Amino acid sequence: MTSPPRYEVCVVGAGAAGLSAALALARDGVATALVGRHGAHPDGRTVALLDGSVRFLEALGAWAAVALHAAPLAELHIVDDTGSLFRPPPARFVASEIGLDAFGWNVESARLVASLREAARAAPNLTLIEADAAGLEQAADAATVRLADGEGVSARLVVGADGGRSAMRKAAGVRERSWSYPQAAITTLLAHDRPHRDVSTEFHTRQGPFTLVPLPGGHRSSLVWVTGETAARRLSELDDAGLARAIEDQAQAMLGAMRIDGPRGLVPMRGLSVASPVADRLALVGEAAHLFPPIGAQGLNLGLRDAAALRDAVLAARNDRRDPGSRQALAGFARSRSLDARLRTAAVDTLNRSLLSGLVPVDALRGLGLIAMTTIAPLRRLVMREGVLPRIGAPALMRRG
């Protein structure tokens, strides 16, 4: 029998997190394989790439193609629409206050993946294997990714970037905790009469956040409408005209008349966390390691930080002549990524559950927190900076300057 092809790193998963991890490693001369089927399926979802993520994509040579289809997020407005007795005034956050032209840039998820895929096809040191991964075999000096056709790919380190139902995570026996919310999200693209002026608006409703995020052209936005499961299913069954009217009403006609201008999606709201993002010769990134509702543009940006941090860990191991798949080499990555993921997961989970609660003390605390961020300038700037990119432990390719 012939031995499986051997690489330094094998990344499993051809989504944005997997592609960016593979590109980051190959960029610095690490012999890398990327296993996964390369197909972006438009479903109305977009991603707000925050400032650190944009710098990461610039370093990977992928940002120029993405930027053509991205809109800046210069301001964030939060409107409490819960009907609470402790309803705070609308909050306004401006990127220029922390020295940025924009908090980030909003782009269709399918376009982002397509741009990363094109960069991967042209990247030296990167081999693309368009196949499904079926299992993982771990050994003392290497791990082998078993493909659906029975072939294998061997590497000193395997990166599981294969999503919330990760086969790599399950094969390695990584302990996980998963949960669900009584919600689902409607996603789509919209055209509207009034310009968005590069402002992202998030309405906090009793069923979850309703968020409009700018797209290029001034009169197009993306929608993430988190609401109850039954309501979400009912909305998904409306024709385009009916759904557009429902969105316009929920947005309080802020952007005038609306029409559906792209594909739709219906996404169940789930959560997942892992005891550790590493196992023997395995590192988990993106939704294979953490999953939570699409609130505050944290999900994919957290996954891109995973990818950038893993690149730093592999390069540090190589420079020190250590095995990049060893527990020792991955220990720092595990600590930093676990902390970042726990903090973001807790923040998103707490906000989402507080909206669903309806308890007066919970509403009061949420309202007081928003008022404090609005009126106390140092706190507001701190929250904005940490939301865009953690100041401590930021990966090298995401740092400013």
pLDDT in tens, 271-312: 999 999 999 999 999 999 999 988 877 889 999 999 999 999
Q: Is 364 exposed, middle or buried (0-12, 13-18, 19+ CB in 10 A)?
A: middle
Would you list the domain boundaries of the chain?
6-178+271-398
* Alpha carbons within 13 A on the beta-carbon side of 385: 15
Encode pLDDT of 136-170 as tens digits: 999 989 999 999 988 999 999 999 999 999 999 99
> 6-178+271-398, what's its fold?
FAD/NAD(P)-binding domain (3.50.50)
Using 50, 70 and 90 to split pLDDT, how confident is the model at 1? very low
- Which range, of 4-8, 15-19, 47-51, 389-393, averages the lowest pLDDT? 389-393
Query: With a threshold of 0.75, does the pTM exceed it?
Result: yes
According to the 3-state scheme, what is the secondary structure of 118-143? HHHHHCCCEEEECCCEEEEEECCCCE
Percent of the chain predicted with pLDDT > 70: 98
64-68, 84-88, 164-168: range with lowest mean pLDDT? 84-88
- The b-or-e profile of 124-148 (16+ CB within 10 A means b, else e) is ebbbbbeeebeebebeeebbbbbbe
Report in angstroms the alpha-carbon separations of 369 from 88, 344, 373: 9, 17, 6
Question: Do the Cβ atoms of 106 and 214 come closer than 8 Å?
Answer: yes
Among 36-50, 60-74, 333-347, the minimum mean pLDDT is found in 36-50
Burial, 160: exposed, middle or buried (Cβ in 10 Å; 0-12, 13-18, 19+)? buried
Per-residue pLDDT tens for 332-342? 999 999 999 99
**Maximum separation of any 2 CA atoms in the chain, in Å:** 71
Mean pLDDT of 82-96: 87
Closest CA to 304 of 15, 12, 9, 8: 15
